[in-house]
């Protein structure tokens, strides 16, 4: 029976240890590394070529080291399990010295490791970026709390009239003195603008000196810069996620997709998680409480941030989260191990389920 062997030297058809057919990879290290990485997920062209020749000459059973890798091929050939052939025995048949082969092997392993590290860097950069968003938000909110309390001595009514932290910070940072407020620099909707300007006439706040305003400005401007930084990092995450995980991004959104990756540890780790685990990622504390107390388990974790789930009726949130988690699992696998853009179909299937549950 023929044996198909693929290694750093190429693809070989062996019979009783002798080379019958071969397709070598050459000596280009990056090319060899690419081939070796490719066979971890599928079948390379050189293998298909050798297999076709073997099939055309009547070989219906071929021994390989990993039969599952060839499962998707429609060749009419039955693939059977076999031990890998000895690399050095093959290389000696080709007239190569052992040391030469060891050198190629080292170089290929180094190149593969380098590529993996490069991929991990992009993956991990996004994870670090999305983690920084929470820290920036926490820092900005803490500073805004102090800013509101401080500025309320000057214009206490503004604290109640402007709920948004970023909008409040922008008003203080750009205007400062309450007497300088007008419809143009308030940047609020007409109704809120009117309420703020009306409150100016009867404010209970004290007057601030020039030094007071300069001091509070030194807090307001860096706080505003944090909100600007958050916005820029969000744009960065959006761009990177569309490159790294286009299916996940299209389906779940860049930020939610990045958060799921961050909790899982990486895109590939997310890709191997079952849908049930993805559904409750981010709800670890609630899940541990369930294990300890026997109370109801969490129905969703960070996936609750998805607009459809957050706004859905309570009785269907769990089902929606389960459906979305299943689609996310497929999308993550497609991004981690393939190149096909399948998000539109996944999104369509999810929207249909959402529509059915919402009736």
The answer to whether the pTM exceeds 0.75 is: no
Q: What is the pLDDT of residues 236-255, one digit of tens each?
A: 999 999 999 999 999 999 99
- Give the number of domains in the chain: 3
Q: Are residues 285 and 217 in the same domain?
A: no
pLDDT tens column, 144-174? 999 999 999 999 999 999 889 999 999 999 8
Residues 252 and 351 placed together within one structural domain of the fold: yes
Pair 224, 271 in one domain: no
Q: Are residues 265 and 300 in the same domain?
A: yes
Domain contains 118: no
Same-domain check for residues 79 and 57: yes
Residue 6 shares a structural domain with residue 80: yes
Measuring CA to CA, which residue among 56, 59, 42 is closest to residue 4? 59
Residues 332 and 304 in one domain: yes
Same domain, 265 and 353: yes
- CATH label of the domain that carries residue 84: 3.30.420.220
Residue 72, pLDDT score: 76
Of the three residues 236, 262, 285, the one that is the final residue of a domain is: 236
Q: What is the CATH number of the domain that holds 332?
A: 1.10.246.90
Looking at the domain assignment, is residue 101 inside a domain?
no
Cα–Cα dist 73/252, whole Å: 32
Containing structural domain, residue 330: 245-358
Percent of the chain with pLDDT over 90: 63
Residue 313 has a pLDDT of: 85
250 and 227 co-located in one domain: no
CATH number, domain of 204, equals: 1.10.287.4070
318 pLDDT higher than 80: yes
Given CA atoms 324, 330, 334, 335 in this order, what sign does their dihedral have? positive
Question: Is the same domain home to 250 and 352?
Answer: yes
DSSP 274: -
Strand partners, 63: 3, 80
Overall average pLDDT of the 62-73 stretch: 86
CA separation for the pair 193, 90 (Å, rounded):
81
Are 278 and 217 in the same domain?
A: no
């Amino acid at each position: 029976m023929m044996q198909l062997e693929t290694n750093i030297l190429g693809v070989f058809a062996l019979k009783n240890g002798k080379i019958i057919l071969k397709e070598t990879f050459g000596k280009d290290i990056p090319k060899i590394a690419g081939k070796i990485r490719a066979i971890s997920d599928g079948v390379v062209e050189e293998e298909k070529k050798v297999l076709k020749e073997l099939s055309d000459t009547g070989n219906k059973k071929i021994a390989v080291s990993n039969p599952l890798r060839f499962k998707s091929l429609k060749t009419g050939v039955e693939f059977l399990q076999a031990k890998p052939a000895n690399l050095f025995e093959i290389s000696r048949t080709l007239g190569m010295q052992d040391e030469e082969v060891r050198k190629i092997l080292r170089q290929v392993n180094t190149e593969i490791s380098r590529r993996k590290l490069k991929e991990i860097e992009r993956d991990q950069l996004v994870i670090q970026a999305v983690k920084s968003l929470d820290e920036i938000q926490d820092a900005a909110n803490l500073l805004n709390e102090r800013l509101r309390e401080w500025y309320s001595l000057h214009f206490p009514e503004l604290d109640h009239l402007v709920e948004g932290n970023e909008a409040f910070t922008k008003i203080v940072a750009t205007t400062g003195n309450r007497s300088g407020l007008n419809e143009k620099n308030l940047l609020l909707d007409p109704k809120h603008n009117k309420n703020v300007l009306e409150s100016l006439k009867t404010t209970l706040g004290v007057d601030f000196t020039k030094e007071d305003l300069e001091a509070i400005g030194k807090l307001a401007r860096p706080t505003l810069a944090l909100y600007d930084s958050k916005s820029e990092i969000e744009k960065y995450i959006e761009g990177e996620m569309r490159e790294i995980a286009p299916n996940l991004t299209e389906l779940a959104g860049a930020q939610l997709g990045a958060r799921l990756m961050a909790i899982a540890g990486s895109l590939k780790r997310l890709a191997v998680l079952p849908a049930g685990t993805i559904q409750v990622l981010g709800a670890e504390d609630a899940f541990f409480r369930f294990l300890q107390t026997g109370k109801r388990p969490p129905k969703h974790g960070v996936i609750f941030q998805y607009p459809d789930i957050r706004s859905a009726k309570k009785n269907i949130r769990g089902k929606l989260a389960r459906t979305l988690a299943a689609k996310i699992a497929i999308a993550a696998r497609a991004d981690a191990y393939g190149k096909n853009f399948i998000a539109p179909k996944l999104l369509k299937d999810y929207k249909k389920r959402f529509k059915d549950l919402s009736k």
